[in-house]
Amino acid sequence: MKNEKRAVTMSDVAREAGVALGTVSKVINGLPVGESYRRKVEAAVEKLDYRVNPSAKALKSNHTSTIALILPNTIIPFFALLTQYVNMALERRGYKMMLCFSEYDRDREQELISMVVQNRVDGIIALTYNPRLEIPKGVPFVTIDRFLGVSVPCVASDNFGGGQLAARKLAELGCRRVACLQVGSVLTTEPNKRKDGFVSGCMAAGLPFEICNPPDGASTTPLEIFLHRHLLETDHPLDGLFCSADLVAHQAIGIIRSMGLRVPEDVQVIGFDGLRILGDQEPVCSSIVQPISDLAETAVSIVLSNDFTGCTPLICLPVSYRPGGTTKDPA
Amino acid sequence: MKNEKRAVTMSDVAREAGVALGTVSKVINGLPVGESYRRKVEAAVEKLDYRVNPSAKALKSNHTSTIALILPNTIIPFFALLTQYVNMALERRGYKMMLCFSEYDRDREQELISMVVQNRVDGIIALTYNPRLEIPKGVPFVTIDRFLGVSVPCVASDNFGGGQLAARKLAELGCRRVACLQVGSVLTTEPNKRKDGFVSGCMAAGLPFEICNPPDGASTTPLEIFLHRHLLETDHPLDGLFCSADLVAHQAIGIIRSMGLRVPEDVQVIGFDGLRILGDQEPVCSSIVQPISDLAETAVSIVLSNDFTGCTPLICLPVSYRPGGTTKDPA
DNA sequence: TTGTATGCGTTATCAG
DNA sequence: CTGATAACGCATACAA
């Protein structure tokens, strides 16, 4: 059962319009052509409902109008948003997106890269976890949140500045003793600078602080131990908390409340990311908001600019603070 | 600045292996070929790191190994999960996914369809909102949650059964007076059957019920009015609530709590979808869980089966109940 | 300016 | 079973 009735091709259009094949091609690609010819071709295109065959075009021209986006998954809201905005930015420029999920698997990241290279994508935007990722030569490559070297442009939020901002906010909001919770990969990723910025901000504000840096993983036990120790078993309990991600903040808030303390009355909490519950409802927590849409837009415009030479290797985009019910902000 | 060093082609491999072009093609495609030839070709492929050019293959074979997934966005968790699982199901079968966002725009849905048809995708999986969507002939088309006619296979959860299950659960959990909150499009979509199932379930259990069916939209005012009326301004207040989506349940719970009532002590709430906070944390609420991974798997396997004839037009997948803290389930 | 011819990398058809 | 050779649909250098 073959439904395939042969598709309309350029030569069909040419015959219909009574012009040569090359002329049709020129009209399609917006090259200069006589006005009367152009109209005849356009009429034929309309009549036959002609559309170019992207495979043929790609085969001939060696570009696919496709950019690969590689990230762990789409279940984590930050990745979901990034996917959305990258797609929009690409679409606006007439490009398609080839979405690939790495599931945090380093080998898979590498395999995906060679897969998309095989598929002749015109560029790659990647948010990866392999510190020794091999970057293919000859295809534009941009990372998000991962600085892999001066030859690979990286776009990220101003993580350091965001950490500082969080410290300053907690100080302004009346905190006297704070802590930073960074559930962290050992990797030196850009987001790890959040803690450094926070430390810097605390010192500038003269605010005493603790640091908790449990290993990444599903267990929240280290978190619980830390919070228990610094909220209940001490004479100088914390009254402010900066978490390196909204996800961590959410977990911490759960633990704090289960300990019988109140947020924000007893402990104020600021997260990082600016996520919303269920995608578009209220904020998860007070947070340093990442400009995800700008990240996407920037990454796309860099990967599409055929001139990588003059490009700053690390591009930091400004973040902002947004109250989200876990801090005592004035109305 | 042209980095493009010409890619290695089949004829390069043929020359290297000292065999004919056609033989290489056969080896690549797993067609029968002499053992000694096969080894020579494989060695050459390895040595030259040859990879097929998908554009050329597609041009010749008219197959792109690509399936389009059309849905509103990826910000709503249900869509994000669907994207994830569809991608996994496709990848397992050696297919790529072309992801398209409609933003709930009916015209855009239609445009996207012709766009992906132009791109010669091998099939389309769509979750759409245009009741008069025109389905392209000649390309396999499967919908999710939208029954568009017997000629278009639709895969959905057992929405009716889920509604019944919710009613039965609320009855079991001791509710005496319940309501169904369905924020609904006017469209006759499959999810609208949740309410019907709930009504059926309530009647079977002899449980008195109310129905609230506000129009779709950002405003929660109709919800508030309904809840205020049936929780505070009445002698027979509700003690159970079924919401047609976790999102609605989440909003309702917020309203109920802001009225000074407790969930689940005063009002038990069951949602629909089975979403988790921030993607993978605790459940949003007690809920009827959709088998999203099965939905994806089923949709993919149908769209890829070249035999549409024997296919049931509407395929319902079983749902299940999962407590999520907004009901008084026994431990 | 317009038309013609060639080749991109594969697959598929046929003749050895 | 193997190896030439002809399309596939388009872009483009080149000829008219």
pLDDT at residue A1 is higher than 60: no
What is the predicted pLDDT for the residue at A310?
67
Using an 8 Å CB-CB cutoff, list chain B residues near A58: 55
> Can you tell me the distance from the alpha carbon of B13 to that of B20, in angstroms, rounded to the nearest whole number?
9
Sequence-distant (6+) residues with CB within 8 A of B277 are A250, A277, B283, B284
DSSP string, B43-104: HHHHHHT----HHHHHHHHS---EEEEEES-SSSHHHHHHHHHHHHHHHHTT-EEEEEE-TT
Closest to B138 (Cβ–Cβ): which among A4, A62, A96? Answer: A4
Which helix (DSSP H) or strand (DSSP E) does residue A271 occupy?
A: strand A268-273
According to the per-residue pLDDT averaged within each range, which of A39-43, A71-75, B29-33, B148-152 is highest?
A71-75
> What number of other Cβ atoms are within 10 A of residue A109's Cβ?
22
pTM above 0.85, yes or no: yes
- Report the share of chain B in percent with pLDDT over 90: 82
Per DSSP, A134 falls in state: P
What part of B 98-117 touches A (C-beta under 8 Å)?
Answer: 98-99, 101
CA–C1' distance A308–D15 (Å)? 38
pLDDT band (50, 70, 90) for residue B2 = very low
Q: B172 near B327, Cβ under 8 Å?
A: no
Asked if B5 CB < 7 A from strand C, the reply is no
Task: State chain B's mean pLDDT as an integer.
Answer: 92
Answer yes or no: do A75 and B54 touch at CB < 8 A: no
- Report the pLDDT averaged over residues B231-244: 94
Using an 8 Å CB-CB cutoff, list chain B residues near A98: 96, 98
The alpha-carbon gap from B50 to the nearest alpha carbon of chain A, in Å, equals 9
- Biggest CA-to-CA distance, chain B: 91
CA–C1' distance B60–D7 (Å)? 8
- Report the pLDDT averaged over residues B94-98: 94
Strand C contacts (CB < 7 A) among B residues 56-95? 56-57, 59-61
Answer yes or no: do B55 and A64 touch at CB < 8 A: yes
pLDDT band (50, 70, 90) for residue B213 = confident
Task: State chain A's mean pLDDT as an integer.
Answer: 92
